[in-house]
Structure 1
Amino acid sequence: MLRGFKNFLMRGDVVVVAIGLIVALAFSTLIKAFTDFVINPIITRIQGKNSIGLGWQLGKPGNPATYVNVGAFISAIVYFVVFMAVVYFMIVVPYKHTQARRGVTVFGDPTPAKTCPSCLSEDIPAAAPKCRYCGSDQPPQGADRPAQV
């Protein structure tokens, strides 16, 4: 029973989705800080409503609603970078090492691809003799390059 659960967790797409969710969560924190501490004070200043820190006061001194808090935004950027470094070194690197021991390459360079002239699919492997989508014959690899003069 535990072996099946381990195999499920070690599937490449599950780990990729989990990392994508972590990145999205960290990025949402960055976006929230930008909107809360940069965009909202500008809008509040336009409406006419009072904070101390790294930034600019757009309205009356002491009004936290019209203060562009650049310090909070810089903190969110630092948080994002540090968080992504932790994700990379604590999740991605060990996962790549584990999968390499199993003979699977993950997070590597993309394989060369070509476009099918019939259905215009752009992810056909470069060495494929037929399109995986429409089944049309593909020109041999390197045949789509113009002739050298």
Structure 2
Amino acid sequence: MLKGFKNFLMRGDLVTIAVGLVIALAFSTLIKAFTDYVINPIVSRLQGGASLGLGWQLGDEGNEATYLDLGQFISALIYFVIFMAVIYFVIVVPYKHYQARRGVTAFGEPGPVKTCPACLSEDLPAAASKCLHCATEQPPTVAGASPV
């Protein structure tokens, strides 16, 4: 039983995902600090004066609970874009390159699919002879014809 668990943990995909998540967490902390201490002051300065930030006060003056803070939203949006760009260029692109050198296509375009006429599921591979969901026989797809 423990040998099977060890084999499960040592699978290449699982280790790759674990390393990717740890790296993503480290980048997340770095990018969060960048947006909090570099982007937020710039966005807040655009508002001018001694306001809480870029936004509007909806309730009593000075009450942070009723302050609609667009600056924080803009910062979160910038954080998300930077984080996704870092993940793509630091993890996904090298992983795709590494897998291509091994002869494996990673993050490629999905294969052609067709729709089952019986249950209308749209995720059947074009070459499927039976539906995955309702088990009805599927008409063969003619080579070169677009699937329904």
**TM-score w.r.t. length of structure 1:** 0.57
Aligned-partner Cα distance in 2 for 1:6–1:96: 22
* Equivalent in the alignment of 1:123: 123
Range with greater deviation from structure 2 (58-67 or 132-141): 132-141
Q: Which amino acid aligns with 2:94?
A: P
Determine whether 1:9 maps to 2:5: no
Could you tell me how far 1:56 is from its partner in structure 2?
0.6
Q: Which runs of 5+ in 2 are unaligned?
A: 1-6, 33-50
1:104 counterpart residue number: 104
Partner deviation per Cα, 1:84-124 (whole Å, 9 max, x = no partner):
11011111111111111122212111111112334544322
Conservation of the 8 A alpha-carbon contact between 2:112 and 2:147: no
State the one-letter code of the partner of 2:72. Answer: A
Query: CA 1:140 to 1:52, structure 2 compared with 1: closer, same or farther past 3 Å?
Result: same
Aligned length: 113
Contact kept, 8 Å, 2:124 with 2:131, in 1: the verdict is: yes
Q: Name the SS for the 1:68 alignment partner.
A: strand
Q: Does the 8 Å contact 2:126/2:147 carry over to 1?
A: no
Do the aligned partners of residues 11 and 139 (structure 1) sit closer, same or farther apart at CA in structure 2, a change above 3 Å counting?
Answer: farther
Q: Say if 2:65 is the partner of 1:62.
A: no
2:114–2:147: 8 Å Cα contact kept in structure 1? no
- Partner in structure 2 of residue 138 of structure 1: 138
Instruction: Mark the CA change 1:55 to 1:6 in structure 2 (over 3 Å): closer, same or farther.
Output: same
1:108 is paired with a residue whose SS is: coil
Distance in 1, Cα, partners of 2:147 & 2:52: 62
**Unpaired stretches in structure 1, ≥5 consecutive residues:** 30-50
Q: Distance in 1 between matches of 2:68 and 2:75?
A: 14
CA distance in 2, matches of 1:100, 1:6: 24
Measured in 2, the distance between the counterparts of 1:62 and 1:91 equals 43
**SS of 2:11 mapped into structure 1:** helix
Q: Using a 3 Å threshold, how does the CA distance of structure 1 residues 96 and 11 change in structure 2: closer, same or farther?
A: farther
Question: Please, what is the CA RMSD of the aligned residues?
Answer: 3.6
Q: Which amino acid aligns with 2:60?
A: K
